[in-house]
Amino acid sequence: MTVGQALELVCPAGTPAALRAAVEAGAHAVYCGFNDETNARNFPGLNFSREEMAEAIAFAHRHGAKVLVALNTFPRAGAFSQWSAAVDDCARFGADAVILADLGLLEDASRRHPGLRLHLSVQAAAANADAINFYVRTFGVKRIVLPRVLTVQEIAAINREIEAETEVFIFGGLCVMAEGRCSLSSYATGKSPNMNGACSPASHVEYREEGGALVSRLGGFAIHRVAAGQPAPYPTLCKGVFEAGDYKGHVFEDPVSLDAAALIPQLAEAGVTALKIEGRQRSRAYTEAVVRSFRRALNDHAAGRPIAAGELRALTEGQQTTAGAYRKTWR
Amino acid sequence: MPSANAIPFFPTAGALALRLAPLAPLSFAAARLARSLGRRHPALFKRLGDQTGKTFLLDPTDLPFAFLLSPRPEAPGLKAVRRSSAGSWDARIAGSLAALIGLVHGAYDGDALFFSRDLVIEGDTEAVLALRNAIDNEEIDLARETAALFGPFESVALRPAHGLAALAARWTGVAFKRPERGTWE
Ligand code: SF4
């Protein structure tokens, strides 16, 4: 992409109401998914029926926003037609792009819907220029959502060597593994985030107040105990407290959320096209607040004004934020 | 979005007075509200899916009573109960009245209230998530829903309902009316 071009704000919506809130708050594009296993946010009560998706796309288009549909899980053997039919529906409803991770599905979509714009999901974990160029040349992928393991310098290096747009996460929950390759949740619950569509599925989560402390269990494993008054984290294993040798604490990652608002100028400079906000599982109140704040930040950036950062801390897991791998400081 | 730190608590004097109040009239009104809500927002049940069979204890921790919600599509129920005699439930959602009502109105984010410990969840997490998401999508305004109980006089009742909600909000700090947002078609 040409440096200096306006950045696109890609915002999450778990429900039609959240999609409307995102568009009203200034989203350039909204990403969302169907209420089934084709969607990596396959949570109870969340997502869009076919009818709701068609209406949501029409609503967004009336207001000048795009809809990108995430079909970002990996089709189960023997059930490919469910994923393939979802691509057909997106094309029929006029989706602006589909976000795919699976090679078979990319091949199927590019062959049967040559006019449908393809984005490569973060789940595909394409983290170098060679891998990205393969997807671009083979399937005509137009945009790559980069894994959250790259530094700004690495992103800039990738952008110099590829013929596609890049999209990076700017705010929200952090999944610290190279995307699509984490088996922690599958191990504890028997359900795969990559195929069934949910890390730490709610059906396997149990919260209990024990003597003022909040104890969270996933699939029967106690993963953290938080004292009264301390911020609570999500029940994801990567943010759990474990004993390893003499060490007891957060083995993989602290319960913090990504907030890279302060890095918007550097990301633009690195040639990024779009900034993505995580949180399709969150409410429309979150969507509205975060989208409004980041749209203001992008407007400030475009106008050369300083960007206000850190104003969304109260909404984040652990009530603490990090710039993640963009400024890498691994344990 | 208002900060979770700013969530008001129901005034202690009011809560003390309510301790003596009989629950039958409250249960009667709550049951009517639940039936009307079910009629006006049938999509709630679709989003709830197989969680409609669950029973939820909605527990405003700053009030001397709680509510049992049974979102059955054919006969949705809402009943005021004393905590000691609440009976069995599948999931408990507890927080100040302002936090619970703020969630219904989309003024607060459920996860943010959970992170800040302003919201406590117990029991069936799947049922809680389904209920939270179903309600969030309906953009419910409780003052409007109360006015709707007056049937054909809904539009006449709406102004006093919003007036009363504003008055009650001034006294208790609880936003009984949904904050105004855009209404794009
Ligand atoms: S356990 Fe953590 S790293 Fe693994 S999939 Fe879940 S959120 Fe991602």
Closest CA to A291 of A13, A4, A6, A5: A13
pLDDT at A146 over 70: yes
Chain A positions touching B47 (Cβ under 8 A) are 45
The helix/strand/coil state of A121 is coil
Q: What's the CA gap between B156 and A176, in Å, rounded?
A: 55
Return the higher-pLDDT residue of A316 and B97: B97
Position B183 scores a pLDDT of 62
CA atoms of B69 and B90, how far apart (whole Å): 10
CA A315 to chain centre: 16
Give the Å distances, CA to CA, from A92 to A50, A79, A261: 11, 21, 36
The dihedral through the CA atoms of A55, A59, A61, A66 has a sign that is negative
Task: Name the residue with tokens 């109140």.
Answer: A285
**Residue of A19, A41, A207, A283 to mutate, interface with B, max B Cβ within 10 Å:** A283
**Could you read off the pLDDT of A21-68 as tens digits, one per residue?**
999 999 999 999 999 999 988 899 999 999 999 999 999 999 999 999
Burial call B146-166: b when 16+ CB within 10 Å, e when fewer: bbbbeeeeeeebbeebbebbe
In this prediction the ipTM stands at 0.88
Provide long-range contacts, Cβ within 8 A and 24+ apart, for A250-255: A252/A176, A253/A174, A253/A176, A254/A318, A254/A320, A254/A322, A255/A231, A255/A317, A255/A318, A255/A320
Is the CA virtual torsion A258, A259, A261, A265 positive or negative? negative
Count the alpha carbons within 13 Å of B167 in the hemisphere toward its beta carbon: 6
Give domain limits for chain B.
4-140
CB A304 within 8 A of CB A241: no
Q: Are A198 and A42 in contact (CB under 8 A)?
A: yes
Beta-carbon separation of B139 and A17 below 8 A:
yes
Sort out which chain A residues have CB atoms less than 8 A from B116's CB and list them.
231-232, 314, 319
Judged against a pLDDT cut of 90, whether residue B31 lies above it is answered with: yes
Would the pLDDT of A136 be above 50?
yes
Q: How far does chain B reach from its first CA to its final CA, in angstroms?
A: 22
Q: What band does A312 get if pLDDT is binned at 50, 70 and 90? A: confident
Query: CA B38 to CA B41: how far, in whole Å?
Result: 5
Q: How many CA atoms lie within 13 A of B147 on its CB side?
A: 20
Model confidence at A107: pLDDT above 80: yes
CATH of domain B4-140: 3.30.1050.10
Integer Cα distance of A178 and A190 in angstroms: 20
Residues 6+ apart with CB under 8 A from B32: B149
Rounded to whole angstroms, how far apart are CA atoms B127 and B133?
10
The rounded mean pLDDT for chain A is: 90
The whole-angstrom separation of Cα B48 and Cα A44 is: 7
- DSSP 3-state of A260: coil
Widest Cα–Cα separation across chain A: 59
Q: Provide, rounded to the nearest whole percent, the portion of chain B with pLDDT above 70.
A: 95
B-proximal residues of A, 10-69, CB under 8 Å: 14-18, 20-21, 23-24, 43-46, 49, 59, 63
List of domains in chain A: 8-174+256-330 (3.20.20.70), 196-249 (no CATH)
- Radius of gyration over every alpha carbon of chain A, rounded to an integer in angstroms: 19
Query: Among all chains, which residue has been given the structure tokens 């929200």?
Result: A172
DSSP A227-251: -TTSPPPPS-GGG-EEEETTEEEES
Looking at A62-71, A150-159, B35-44, B149-158, which range is the least confident one?
B149-158
Instruction: Give the Cα separation of A152 and A156 in Å (integer).
Output: 6
pLDDT for A218: 92
Are the CB atoms for B4 and B116 separated by under 8 Å?
yes
- Give the residue-averaged pLDDT of B141-161: 83
The residue with greater pLDDT, A29 or A195, is: A29
CB atoms within 10 A of CB B140: 17
Pocket residues: Cβ below 6 A from ligand 1: A 175-177, 182, 184-185, 193, 199, 236-238
Give the pLDDT score at A1.
40
- Whether the CB-CB separation of B106 and B139 falls below 8 Å is answered with yes
Q: Which of A185, A180, A174 is nearest to A316 (CA)?
A: A174
Structure tokens, A198 = 């949910």
Q: Tell me the pLDDT band of A105, cut-offs 50, 70 and 90.
A: very high
Residue A83: predicted pLDDT: 98
Interchain proximity B106–A208, CB inside 8 Å: no
Contacts of A287 (CB under 8 A, 6+ apart): A11, A12, A13, A18, A21, A22, A25, A279
Asked whether residue B170 carries a pLDDT value surpassing 80, the answer given is no
Q: Helix axis angle, B125-138 relative to A16-25, nearest 10°?
A: 50
The predicted structure's pLDDT at residue A21: 96
pLDDT of B33 > 80? The answer is yes
Q: Is the pLDDT of residue A240 over 50?
A: yes
Interface membership of A228 toward B (CB under 8 Å):
yes
Tell me the shortest Cα–Cα distance from A179 to chain B, in angstroms.
23
**pLDDT value at A304 more than 80:** yes
Q: What percent of chain A has pLDDT over 70?
A: 95
Q: Answer yes or no: are the C-beta atoms of A89 and A116 closer than 8 Å.
A: no
- DSSP assignment letter at B62: T
- pLDDT tier at B68, thresholds 50, 70, 90: very high
Say if A259 is an interface residue toward chain B (CB within 8 Å).
Answer: no
What is the reported pLDDT for A326? 82
Over residues A218-231, the mean pLDDT reads 89
Q: Do B115 and A16 touch (CB under 8 A)?
A: no
A86-91: long-range contacts, CB 8 A cutoff, minimum separation 24 = A86/A34, A86/A36, A86/A38, A87/A112, A87/A113, A87/A116, A88/A112, A88/A113, A89/A34, A89/A50, A89/A53, A90/A53, A90/A116, A91/A115, A91/A116
Residue bearing tokens 């429309």: A284
- Between B47 and A252, name the one with better pLDDT: B47
pLDDT reading at A194 higher than 90? no
- Across the interface, whether the CB atoms of B184 and A24 are under 8 A apart is answered yes
- Asked if residue B2 has pLDDT above 70, the reply is no
Distance from CA of A264 to the nearest CA of B (A): 23
Report chain B's mean pLDDT, rounded to a whole number. Answer: 88
> CA–CA separation, A296 vs A202, rounded Å?
34
pLDDT above 60 (res A331): no
By the 10 Å C-beta count (0-12 exposed, 13-18 middle, 19+ buried), A10 is classed as: buried
- Would you call A45 and B47 a contact, using CB atoms and an 8 Å cutoff? yes
